[in-house]
Amino acid sequence: MKISIITVCYNSAAHIEDAIRSVADQDYADIEHIVIDGNSTDGTQQVLEKHADKLAYWISEPDGGIYDAMNKGIEKCTGDVVGILNSDDFYFDNQVISKIAKAFQHQETDAVFGDLIFVDPKNLERTIRTYSSKSWHPEKFAKGYMPAHPTFFVRRKFYGKYGLFETDYAIAADYEMLIRLLYVHKLAYKYLPMKMVKMRTGGVSSNGIKSNITLNNEIIKACRSHGIKTSALKIYPKYFKKVFELFNHK
Protein backbone atom coordinates (compact mmCIF):
# COMPACT_ATOMS: atom_id res chain seq x y z
CA MET A 1 0.00 0.00 0.00
CA LYS A 2 1.46 3.31 -1.08
CA ILE A 3 0.94 6.28 1.26
CA SER A 4 1.03 9.75 -0.32
CA ILE A 5 1.96 12.67 1.94
CA ILE A 6 1.42 16.22 0.69
CA THR A 7 3.24 19.22 2.11
CA VAL A 8 2.38 22.71 0.88
CA CYS A 9 4.58 25.65 1.75
CA TYR A 10 5.41 29.29 1.20
CA ASN A 11 8.55 30.91 2.58
CA SER A 12 9.12 27.90 4.83
CA ALA A 13 12.90 27.62 4.66
CA ALA A 14 13.22 27.77 8.45
CA HIS A 15 11.20 24.62 9.14
CA ILE A 16 10.40 22.55 6.06
CA GLU A 17 13.57 20.50 6.42
CA ASP A 18 12.14 19.04 9.65
CA ALA A 19 8.96 18.02 7.83
CA ILE A 20 10.89 16.39 4.98
CA ARG A 21 13.20 14.48 7.33
CA SER A 22 10.32 13.28 9.50
CA VAL A 23 8.76 11.68 6.42
CA ALA A 24 12.05 10.31 5.09
CA ASP A 25 12.85 8.76 8.50
CA GLN A 26 9.64 6.73 8.66
CA ASP A 27 10.13 2.97 8.96
CA TYR A 28 7.46 2.37 6.29
CA ALA A 29 8.98 1.94 2.84
CA ASP A 30 6.21 2.77 0.38
CA ILE A 31 5.79 6.53 0.89
CA GLU A 32 5.36 9.19 -1.76
CA HIS A 33 6.17 12.69 -0.46
CA ILE A 34 4.93 15.55 -2.62
CA VAL A 35 5.80 19.19 -1.90
CA ILE A 36 3.95 22.12 -3.49
CA ASP A 37 5.70 25.44 -2.94
CA GLY A 38 4.00 28.75 -3.72
CA ASN A 39 7.02 30.37 -5.38
CA SER A 40 8.86 31.15 -2.15
CA THR A 41 11.47 33.90 -1.99
CA ASP A 42 13.28 32.97 1.25
CA GLY A 43 15.41 30.02 0.17
CA THR A 44 12.73 27.32 0.42
CA GLN A 45 13.46 26.22 -3.13
CA GLN A 46 17.11 25.65 -2.25
CA VAL A 47 16.07 23.46 0.69
CA LEU A 48 13.82 21.44 -1.62
CA GLU A 49 16.61 21.04 -4.14
CA LYS A 50 18.90 19.84 -1.35
CA HIS A 51 16.41 17.13 -0.37
CA ALA A 52 15.09 16.32 -3.86
CA ASP A 53 16.21 12.69 -3.48
CA LYS A 54 13.73 12.29 -0.60
CA LEU A 55 10.78 13.69 -2.58
CA ALA A 56 8.67 11.93 -5.19
CA TYR A 57 7.71 15.29 -6.69
CA TRP A 58 8.10 18.96 -5.94
CA ILE A 59 7.33 22.19 -7.71
CA SER A 60 7.63 25.88 -6.96
CA GLU A 61 5.19 28.16 -8.72
CA PRO A 62 2.54 30.77 -7.87
CA ASP A 63 -0.75 29.39 -6.59
CA GLY A 64 -4.11 30.58 -5.33
CA GLY A 65 -3.38 29.93 -1.67
CA ILE A 66 -2.91 27.01 0.68
CA TYR A 67 -5.96 25.02 -0.42
CA ASP A 68 -5.24 25.50 -4.12
CA ALA A 69 -1.77 24.13 -3.39
CA MET A 70 -3.27 21.15 -1.52
CA ASN A 71 -5.47 20.43 -4.52
CA LYS A 72 -2.42 20.47 -6.79
CA GLY A 73 -0.77 17.97 -4.49
CA ILE A 74 -3.78 15.65 -4.46
CA GLU A 75 -3.91 15.72 -8.25
CA LYS A 76 -0.26 14.57 -8.35
CA CYS A 77 -0.75 11.74 -5.86
CA THR A 78 -0.55 8.11 -6.95
CA GLY A 79 -0.86 6.51 -3.51
CA ASP A 80 -3.74 4.45 -2.16
CA VAL A 81 -4.02 6.68 0.92
CA VAL A 82 -3.38 10.43 1.27
CA GLY A 83 -2.32 12.54 4.25
CA ILE A 84 -1.35 16.21 4.51
CA LEU A 85 1.58 17.39 6.62
CA ASN A 86 2.02 21.13 7.13
CA SER A 87 5.45 22.55 6.31
CA ASP A 88 6.23 23.48 9.92
CA ASP A 89 4.86 20.22 11.40
CA PHE A 90 6.59 16.87 11.72
CA TYR A 91 5.68 13.32 12.69
CA PHE A 92 5.86 12.30 16.34
CA ASP A 93 8.16 9.35 15.65
CA ASN A 94 9.29 7.12 12.79
CA GLN A 95 6.54 4.53 13.24
CA VAL A 96 3.53 6.77 12.58
CA ILE A 97 3.01 5.89 8.91
CA SER A 98 3.50 2.13 9.40
CA LYS A 99 0.75 2.16 12.06
CA ILE A 100 -1.53 4.13 9.75
CA ALA A 101 -0.89 1.69 6.90
CA LYS A 102 -1.74 -1.21 9.22
CA ALA A 103 -5.08 0.42 10.05
CA PHE A 104 -5.90 0.64 6.33
CA GLN A 105 -5.31 -3.08 5.86
CA HIS A 106 -8.92 -3.43 6.96
CA GLN A 107 -10.87 -2.81 3.77
CA GLU A 108 -13.84 -1.34 5.66
CA THR A 109 -11.67 1.54 6.93
CA ASP A 110 -12.01 4.63 4.73
CA ALA A 111 -10.16 7.16 6.91
CA VAL A 112 -8.10 7.35 10.10
CA PHE A 113 -6.99 10.09 12.45
CA GLY A 114 -5.24 10.42 15.79
CA ASP A 115 -3.82 12.97 18.21
CA LEU A 116 -1.67 16.04 17.67
CA ILE A 117 0.51 17.92 20.12
CA PHE A 118 1.36 21.62 20.00
CA VAL A 119 4.99 22.29 20.86
CA ASP A 120 7.03 25.34 21.76
CA PRO A 121 8.77 26.60 18.57
CA LYS A 122 11.88 27.34 20.64
CA ASN A 123 11.87 23.95 22.38
CA LEU A 124 10.32 21.19 20.29
CA GLU A 125 10.41 18.76 23.21
CA ARG A 126 8.12 21.01 25.29
CA THR A 127 4.43 20.22 24.82
CA ILE A 128 2.09 23.21 25.09
CA ARG A 129 -1.21 21.48 24.45
CA THR A 130 -2.55 18.13 23.27
CA TYR A 131 -5.27 18.03 20.61
CA SER A 132 -6.95 14.69 21.20
CA SER A 133 -9.58 13.37 18.80
CA LYS A 134 -10.47 10.45 21.07
CA SER A 135 -14.00 11.59 21.91
CA TRP A 136 -14.74 13.17 18.54
CA HIS A 137 -17.79 12.13 16.51
CA PRO A 138 -19.55 13.83 13.55
CA GLU A 139 -22.17 15.54 15.72
CA LYS A 140 -19.35 17.66 17.14
CA PHE A 141 -18.93 19.56 13.89
CA ALA A 142 -21.80 21.77 15.08
CA LYS A 143 -19.76 22.74 18.15
CA GLY A 144 -16.63 23.67 16.22
CA TYR A 145 -14.72 20.42 16.63
CA MET A 146 -13.07 18.32 13.95
CA PRO A 147 -10.37 15.65 14.02
CA ALA A 148 -6.88 17.14 13.90
CA HIS A 149 -6.43 17.60 10.15
CA PRO A 150 -2.66 16.93 10.00
CA THR A 151 -3.41 13.47 11.45
CA PHE A 152 -6.16 12.74 8.92
CA PHE A 153 -5.52 10.09 6.25
CA VAL A 154 -8.11 8.98 3.72
CA ARG A 155 -8.23 6.67 0.73
CA ARG A 156 -7.36 8.73 -2.36
CA LYS A 157 -10.37 7.53 -4.32
CA PHE A 158 -12.68 9.62 -2.12
CA TYR A 159 -11.07 12.89 -3.22
CA GLY A 160 -11.86 11.80 -6.77
CA LYS A 161 -15.39 10.82 -5.82
CA TYR A 162 -16.37 13.70 -3.54
CA GLY A 163 -14.16 16.55 -4.70
CA LEU A 164 -11.17 18.63 -3.68
CA PHE A 165 -10.79 21.52 -1.22
CA GLU A 166 -13.05 24.55 -1.64
CA THR A 167 -10.67 27.41 -2.39
CA ASP A 168 -13.07 30.19 -1.38
CA TYR A 169 -12.26 29.41 2.27
CA ALA A 170 -9.28 31.30 3.74
CA ILE A 171 -8.69 29.06 6.80
CA ALA A 172 -11.40 26.42 7.20
CA ALA A 173 -11.51 24.51 3.90
CA ASP A 174 -10.14 21.52 5.80
CA TYR A 175 -13.13 21.76 8.17
CA GLU A 176 -15.53 21.83 5.22
CA MET A 177 -13.72 18.89 3.64
CA LEU A 178 -14.02 16.76 6.77
CA ILE A 179 -17.71 17.63 7.06
CA ARG A 180 -18.15 16.52 3.46
CA LEU A 181 -16.30 13.25 3.92
CA LEU A 182 -17.30 12.21 7.44
CA TYR A 183 -20.72 13.80 7.95
CA VAL A 184 -22.29 14.05 4.49
CA HIS A 185 -20.84 10.94 2.89
CA LYS A 186 -20.36 9.05 6.16
CA LEU A 187 -16.97 7.51 5.46
CA ALA A 188 -16.05 4.73 7.86
CA TYR A 189 -13.35 6.25 10.07
CA LYS A 190 -11.10 4.85 12.77
CA TYR A 191 -9.49 6.79 15.61
CA LEU A 192 -5.96 5.64 16.40
CA PRO A 193 -5.02 6.29 20.05
CA MET A 194 -1.58 7.65 19.35
CA LYS A 195 0.28 10.93 18.99
CA MET A 196 0.89 11.38 15.28
CA VAL A 197 2.07 14.94 14.66
CA LYS A 198 3.97 17.70 16.43
CA MET A 199 2.81 21.19 15.47
CA ARG A 200 4.64 24.38 16.30
CA THR A 201 2.33 26.94 17.91
CA GLY A 202 1.45 30.05 15.91
CA GLY A 203 -0.04 28.56 12.71
CA VAL A 204 -2.34 30.39 10.30
CA SER A 205 -5.54 29.23 12.00
CA SER A 206 -4.39 30.09 15.52
CA ASN A 207 -2.50 33.34 14.97
CA GLY A 208 -4.45 36.00 16.84
CA ILE A 209 -8.01 37.11 17.47
CA LYS A 210 -8.66 38.17 13.88
CA SER A 211 -7.72 34.73 12.56
CA ASN A 212 -9.94 33.04 15.14
CA ILE A 213 -12.90 35.19 14.14
CA THR A 214 -12.34 34.36 10.46
CA LEU A 215 -11.94 30.67 11.32
CA ASN A 216 -15.16 30.48 13.30
CA ASN A 217 -17.15 32.42 10.71
CA GLU A 218 -15.97 29.94 8.10
CA ILE A 219 -16.78 26.99 10.36
CA ILE A 220 -20.34 28.30 10.64
CA LYS A 221 -20.46 28.74 6.85
CA ALA A 222 -19.19 25.18 6.29
CA CYS A 223 -21.69 23.67 8.73
CA ARG A 224 -24.66 25.53 7.31
CA SER A 225 -23.69 24.70 3.72
CA HIS A 226 -24.14 21.03 4.62
CA GLY A 227 -27.28 21.35 6.71
CA ILE A 228 -25.65 21.35 10.14
CA LYS A 229 -27.38 23.75 12.49
CA THR A 230 -24.90 25.83 14.46
CA SER A 231 -24.13 29.33 15.67
CA ALA A 232 -21.43 31.35 17.41
CA LEU A 233 -23.05 30.45 20.75
CA LYS A 234 -22.45 26.77 20.02
CA ILE A 235 -18.92 27.17 18.71
CA TYR A 236 -17.12 29.66 20.97
CA PRO A 237 -17.40 27.60 24.20
CA LYS A 238 -14.79 25.24 22.70
CA TYR A 239 -12.12 27.71 23.83
CA PHE A 240 -12.79 26.78 27.45
CA LYS A 241 -11.75 23.23 26.55
CA LYS A 242 -8.57 24.53 24.94
CA VAL A 243 -7.63 26.26 28.18
CA PHE A 244 -8.16 22.97 30.03
CA GLU A 245 -5.92 21.20 27.51
CA LEU A 246 -3.06 23.52 28.48
CA PHE A 247 -3.01 21.84 31.89
CA ASN A 248 -3.75 18.30 30.73
CA HIS A 249 -1.34 17.55 27.92
CA LYS A 250 0.49 14.44 29.03
Tens-level pLDDT at each residue, the chain (250 residues): 999 999 999 999 999 999 999 999 999 999 999 999 999 999 999 999 999 999 999 999 999 999 999 999 999 999 999 999 999 999 999 999 999 999 999 999 999 999 999 999 999 999 999 999 999 999 999 999 999 999 999 999 999 999 999 999 999 999 999 999 999 999 999 999 999 999 998 755 445 688 888 999 999 999 999 999 999 899 977 765 554 445 555 5
Q: Using only the alpha carbons of the chain, give its radius of gyration.
A: 17
Q: Could you give the CA distance from residue 173 to residue 85 in angstroms, rounded to a whole number? A: 15
Domain definitions of the chain by residue range = 3-246
Residue 64 amino acid letter = G
Q: Give the list of residues 6+ apart from residue 26 with CB closer than 8 angstroms, or none.
A: 91, 94, 95, 96, 97, 98
| CATH 3.40.50.10490 correct for 3-246 | no
Nearest to 59 by CA among 40, 41, 42: 40
85 contacts 70 by C-beta, under 8 angstroms = no
Helix (H, G, I), strand (E, B) or coil at 48: helix
Contacts of 243-247 with CB under 8 Å at 24 or more apart are 245/129, 245/130, 245/131, 245/132, 246/128, 246/129
Q: Could you give the CA distance from residue 178 to residue 146 in angstroms, rounded to a whole number? A: 7
